[in-house]
Amino acid sequence: MNKKNQEILIQIKNLTKKFGDFYAVKGVNLEIKHGEIVGFLGPNGAGKTTTMKMMAYLLNPNEGEIWIRANGELKKLTRINKDYLLDNIGFLIEIPAFYGKVTPKEILKYFAKLKGYPRVRLDERIDTVLNMLGMLKWKDKKIGTFSKGMRQKIGIASAIIHDPDIIVLDEPQTGLDPGARKEVRDFILKLKKMGKTIFLSSHLLYEISEVADRIAIINRGELIAFDTLNNLEGKAKKSVIHFELLNPPDGKVDDFITQLKTFIAPLTGIAEEENWIKYYDDNKVFQLFFNGNPKNQTDILKVLLENGYEILEYSVPKAGLLENLFIELTGVNEIGGVYK
Amino acid sequence: MTLESEEIKTGIIPIEKQRAGLKRNFTQISDTITFEFKKNLKNFFLVLLIFLGVFILFLTIQELQALQGKELPADPIIFIKDYLAMFGFMLIISTALFGGSIIAEDFQKQTGNLLFPKISKTRLLIGRVISRYILNAICLFFYYVLIGAITFIKYGEIPIVIWGSMGWALLYTFSLFTFVTFMSSIMKSSTATIIVSILFLLIVFNLVSMILTFTGLDFEPLFILTYYEGIIAQSMAMPNPRYIYMDMQPPQAEEPIFYKNWLTPTGTAAFIGMVIYIGIFLTLAYFLYKRRQSKNV
């Protein structure tokens, strides 16, 4: 990693926001480095949006500071310098709402102008951004006729239209179908390749785990973990294997699982517990917990093959690891969006 | 795709953006004005249509009366005043339509989440007030042009005082506009702002004025915003005195009771009164807007 990539672009120190007696965000410390994607994970109401709103100066913190790099220097965000410091950041906060009577071209042109984007290059920039999001053919249609997913894409376009170096996206995949979610995921990775720094919040474990370099987990306003996915994996006491058989069990699933347990249980490295092996009938996938050790992972595969099971797919999903850690840290087991 | 556009797309070569500062603040206001023009185009044509409709209505009535043998008034100012009979009502409707959403929409639809990180509420409000007021003023001017044209056709001249009346109408419209802006800063939705503003301006203010009249208190109702509407028509020929007495016969009284009904303020009082109203409502709206936060935090 070069020196520039070590550079902190945003630093959040002891950030706190109270609404009455309720702490929406409590003492959050975060730093976002140049060129990385930081995933901000937490259940609904954990404080993700409030944190991002304070970054965008939409809400004032009760305590704490936000420092943003501008012209090579980290500066504290204040009312006086907010225009200057936030100039190089693109925000998408919550599900975007637009004026229905205008077109994407009109609204994006307005937003880009507000941020001082060169006027002679506006049309070209709008076409480029809309093309990247697969929305070019809709640029002259009224936004009022758009689906939720299309509006979400226009929201993302509005965050990046002025070509900022830092992009803050609050739940950009919410309300999107799986295909659109993948498009957004790929788009986020494309932005990273372009050298952008991204701060991305979501309650969808899979979406975060697939793109983020570092993950911050927030629950009830407090940051409970902030590290790389690999380091977080290490903290997890157990992990998950997903496998799919060429010939899935046809009825009598319980008997089938009992049979599997007899030769897999000694290899998992963890004590047997309730539902440690499960079968999801809808997508024909088995899920089992193990200690996360790669040796145990390969041993389990070997024994399955030795016993004549034809394996179609065998993997340790990142989201699975993260989900375990998340459950351990927060006690929340219904975060949603995890691959089953 | 040219090499240059590829560079912009990939971000390899940083592009020269206008820096944040005073110049950008002004361009943000002018860009907001342009954008708001486009956004309010539908309302603009609707109000133009309403004004045209009212004009045609008056014209039709006048032509029907002419067919029945009624002669035109000798004084063109009286002729013009006839066309201004419903003008106060028209201005209330148009102002509510243009100003109803000016602040409430950002919180109702949560469009503020997209806008506020890009432009300050102060500049946004300045741009919106200017653009929407200009559209409102164009509609008003259009109506005066129609009156001027028909006056010229009928009398061969346009009394110069009509433009003075238009000046008062512009000031009165702005004071109404600031009232609606204030309402928009406290209401939750644009529709509610429009309805409540119209109710206040058409009913509540007039009701207060009426109650004061019937209590027999002898003072000019300068604190009633809609009272200033009187000067739009009356400025062309100021009545002397500026009030009339109305009589009412209570059921069990022997003599009728006389009430003083104020027609118009003086030019000076109207100017000062409306400027005070504008100052108060704009300041309140501005601070309420600045303090207001989106509902989902």
The pLDDT tens digits of the residues spanning A108-166 come to 999 999 999 999 999 999 999 999 998 999 999 999 999 888 898 999 999 999 999 99
Q: pLDDT confidence of B75, banded at 50, 70, 90?
A: very high
Compute the average pLDDT of residues B183-204.
Answer: 95
What pLDDT is stored for residue B2 in this prediction?
Answer: 43
Q: Please answer whether residues A179 and A143 qualify as being in contact, where contact means their C-beta atoms are separated by less than 8 angstroms.
A: no
Q: pLDDT confidence of B200, banded at 50, 70, 90?
A: very high
Per the CB < 8 Å rule, is A58 touching B117? yes
What pLDDT is stored for residue B15 in this prediction?
Answer: 74
User: Could you say which of 3.20.20.70, 3.30.300.30, 3.10.620.30, 3.30.70.100 is the CATH number of the domain covering A236-330?
Assistant: 3.30.70.100
Q: Please answer whether residues A161 and A108 qualify as being in contact, where contact means their C-beta atoms are separated by less than 8 angstroms.
A: yes
Per the CB < 8 Å rule, is B39 touching A83? no
Tokens of B199: 């109710």
- A-chain residues near B105 (CB < 8 A): 99
- What total number of domains does chain B contain? 1
The residue ranges of chain A whose pLDDT is under 50 are: 1, 334-340
Q: Which residue of A has its CA nearest to B5?
A: A124
State the DSSP code for B160: T
d(CA B186, CA B181): 9
Q: Which residue of A has its CA nearest to B25?
A: A114
Q: pLDDT confidence of B87, banded at 50, 70, 90?
A: very high
What pLDDT is stored for residue A335 in this prediction?
Answer: 46
Token pair 């991305």 in the structure block, residue: A200
For B16, which of A84, A98, A118 is closest by C-beta distance? A118
Facing residues of A66 across strands? Answer: A12
* Cα→Cα distances A19→A55, A56, A67, Å: 17, 18, 23
Residues of B with CB under 8 A from a CB of A: 5, 8-11, 15-20, 24, 27-28, 31-32, 34-35, 38-39, 42, 105, 109-114, 116-120, 293-294, 296-297
Compute the average pLDDT of residues B162-167.
Answer: 96
Architecture per CATH, domain A3-228, reads as 3-Layer(aba) Sandwich (3.40)
Distance from CA of A237 to the nearest CA of B (A): 34
Q: Please answer whether residues B53 and B136 qualify as being in contact, where contact means their C-beta atoms are separated by less than 8 angstroms.
A: no
- A-chain residues near B39 (CB < 8 A): 99, 101-102
d(CA B196, CA B9): 48
Token pair 């990775």 in the structure block, residue: A189
How far from chain centre, in Å, is Cα B147? 19
Q: Which residue of B has its CA nearest to A93?
A: B113
Q: Is the pLDDT of residue B6 over 50?
A: no
* Count of beta carbons in the 10 Å neighbourhood of residue B297: 16
d(CA A135, CA B174): 41
Q: Which of A282-291, B5-14, B283-292 has the lowest mean pLDDT?
A: B5-14
Compute the average pLDDT of residues B161-167.
Answer: 96
Q: Where are the domains of chain A?
A: 3-228, 236-330
Higher pLDDT among residues B229 and B293, named by residue: B229
Per the CB < 8 Å rule, is A99 touching B9? no
* Cα→Cα distances A128→A103, A131, A139, A163, B229, Å: 16, 5, 11, 11, 52
Q: Which of A332-336, B102-106, B166-170 has the lowest mean pLDDT?
A: A332-336
Q: Which domain holds residue B172?
A: 22-291
Q: What percent of chain B has pLDDT over 90?
A: 69
Q: What percent of chain A has pLDDT over 90?
A: 47
Per the CB < 8 Å rule, is B118 touching A114? yes
CA-closest candidate to residue B278, choices B129, B135, B132, B107: B129
Q: Which residue of B has its CA nearest to A83?
A: B20
Residue B9 domain-assigned (yes or no):
no
Per the CB < 8 Å rule, is A117 touching B17? yes
- B-chain residues near A195 (CB < 8 A): 11
Reduced 3-state DSSP string for chain A: CCHHHHCEEEEEEEEEEEECCEEEEEEEEEEEECCCEEEEECCCCCCHHHHHHHHCCCCCCCEEEEEEEECCEEEECCCCCHHHHHHHEEEECCCCCCCCCCCHHHHHHHHHHHCCCCHHHHHHHHHHHHHHCCCHHHCCCCHHHCCHHHHHHHHHHHHHCCCCCEEEEECCCCCCCHHHHHHHHHHHHHHHHCCCEEEEEECCHHHHHHHCCEEEEEECCEEEEEEEHHHHHHHCCCEEEEEEECCCCCCCHHHHHHHHHHHHHHHCCCCCCCCCEEEECCCCEEEEEECCCHHHHHHHHHHHHHCCCCEEEEECCHHHHHHHHHHHHHCCCCCCCCCC
Q: Is the pLDDT of residue B3 over 50?
A: no
